[in-house]
Amino acid sequence: MSYTTIHVEASRSYDILIGRGILDSIGEMLRPIVGDCRLGVLTDSRVDELYGDRLIDTLTAAGYAADKFVVPAGEASKCADNLLEFLNFLADCKLTRSDAVIAFGGGVVGDMAGLSAALYLRGVKFIQIPTTLLAAVDSSVGGKTAIDIPAGKNLVGAFYQPSLVCCDTALMDTLEPDIYRDGCAEVIKYGVILDKTLYDKLQEPPFDRESVVARCVEIKRDVVQQDEFDNGIRGLLNFGHTFGHAIEKMSNFEVSHGAAVAKGMVIAARMAPLCGLCDVAEELSALLQRYGFDLSSPYSADDLYDAILSDKKRRGGNITVVLPKAIGECVLVTLAVEELYDKLKLILG
Ligand code: GLY
């Protein structure tokens, strides 16, 4: 079985394994990390339908006792009620401190399983098995866990690093095209913020999934190792996200995360020259369109500004945005919120 291993040095150090078909070897990959233990698996209805039995059969064949908890697919599942239900499930299954939680799914499942692992018995081991491109390149790496509350997305969470990430890229073969495209927005983001070579490689879709996932994970690993708790350079990973989150919120989450981030990256690229930086908006828009992104912005500066004011990245009267200096090099720029408004007005009217 061939796979790539990327090692992360953080408050908890761990390996990220990336390869086609590695799900069937998950038992032997887990053994050195968790030993003999009971496993509480969180997954969603769609992943369960496609791969749930295969995971449980593989774990059982490897000698593990594994119990599965399934939530409906979709962002609405990342809520306090489901978190509590899953925690109760772990207790009903009599998981102890030497046992482990597995996230088997995309970002919703990964974020909520990670928070559950951080909270249950004040912390049990946590394994990520991402099944979407977005989770593989972003949310399964770096230890951000969360649920949504009525006041906003990801407002309750913890930094809690996994003990292992096992990414079987073959599981992405069955992703619906728009879900796969969501992940492509994050992939393109890595190219713009830190890697022109990656950006160039993405020019002719589709890209080679294994090597591109591995490169994105390496980039995220390098950033997280420098700033695990998100006090500085990790902010670069938010390129397109301040505006993207505002678009998601304004649309009542009808616009998906990746689609919103794509629109947000173009707004950020258009803001760069207004801050004395280079203008890559046209070139970036052309690339995003090649991946099928709709870059129209249905919201005015006033709409987005209101949503941005409640962004968790705001600090008092300032907000830090990520702007391109060149393709492959972004910078953090802190603006007074009024300045941001003026620039948004110039871009969006
Ligand atoms: N998704 C951004 C981060 O992990 O910091």
Give yes or no: residues 26 and 68 share one domain. Answer: yes
Mark which of 140, 155, 174 sits at the end of a domain.
Answer: 174
Mark which of 174, 192, 219 sits at the end of a domain.
Answer: 174
**CA–CA separation, 222 vs 237, rounded Å?**
11
Give yes or no: residues 94 and 195 share one domain. Answer: no
Give yes or no: residues 211 and 314 share one domain. Answer: yes
Tell me how far the alpha carbon of residue 120 lies from the centroid of ligand 1, in angstroms: 23
Give yes or no: residues 122 and 228 share one domain. Answer: no
Give yes or no: residues 168 and 187 share one domain. Answer: no
Give the DSSP per-residue string, 115-131. HHHHHGGG--EEEEEE-
Mark which of 146, 174, 202 sits at the end of a domain.
Answer: 174
**CA–CA separation, 193 vs 191, rounded Å?**
6
Give yes or no: residues 100 and 210 share one domain. Answer: no
Give yes or no: residues 238 and 160 share one domain. Answer: no
83: CATH: 3.40.50.1970
**CA–CA separation, 345 vs 349, rounded Å?**
5
CB 104 within 8 A of CB 55: yes
Tell me how far the alpha carbon of residue 65 lies from the centroid of ligand 1, in angstroms: 32
Instruction: Produce one character per residue of 62-72: b if its CB has 16 or more CB atoms within 10 Å, e if not.
Output: bebebebbbbe
Tell me how far the alpha carbon of residue 93 lies from the centroid of ligand 1, in angstroms: 32
CB 341 within 8 A of CB 349: no
**CA–CA separation, 238 vs 189, rounded Å?**
9
Residues in the chain, how many?
349
* Ligand 1 pocket by Cβ (under 6 Å): 138, 142, 144, 230, 234, 237
Give yes or no: residues 21 and 168 share one domain. Answer: yes
Tell me how far the alpha carbon of residue 137 lies from the centroid of ligand 1, in angstroms: 10
**CA–CA separation, 292 vs 74, rounded Å?**
22
Give yes or no: residues 342 and 200 share one domain. Answer: yes
312: CATH: 1.20.1090.10
Per-residue pLDDT of the chain (349 residues; tens, 9 = 90+): 799 999 999 999 999 999 999 999 999 999 999 999 999 999 999 999 999 999 999 999 999 999 999 999 999 999 999 999 999 999 999 999 999 999 999 999 999 999 999 999 999 999 999 999 999 999 999 999 999 998 888 999 999 999 999 999 999 999 999 999 999 999 999 999 999 999 999 999 999 999 999 999 999 999 999 999 999 999 999 999 999 999 999 999 899 999 999 999 999 999 999 999 999 999 999 999 999 999 998 899 999 998 898 776 777 889 999 999 999 999 999 999 999 999 999 999 8
Give yes or no: residues 129 and 141 share one domain. Answer: yes
- What predicted TM-score, i.e. pTM, was given to this entire model? 0.96
Give yes or no: residues 166 and 185 share one domain. Answer: no
Question: Atom of ligand 1 at shortest distance to CA of 138?
Answer: 1
Q: What is the 3-state secondary structure (H, E, C) of 260-271?
A: HHHHHHHHHHHH
* Atom 2 of ligand 1, nearest CA residue: 237
Give yes or no: residues 126 and 230 share one domain. Answer: no
Q: What are phi and psi of 330, to 5 degrees?
A: -115, 160
Q: Which residues pair with 69 in a beta bridge?
A: 42
Q: Which residues pair with 65 in a beta bridge?
A: 38
Range of the domain at 11: 4-174
Question: Atom of ligand 1 at shortest distance to CA of 238?
Answer: 2
Q: For residue 57, how many other CB atoms are within 10 A of its CB?
A: 12
- Number of structural domains, the chain? 2
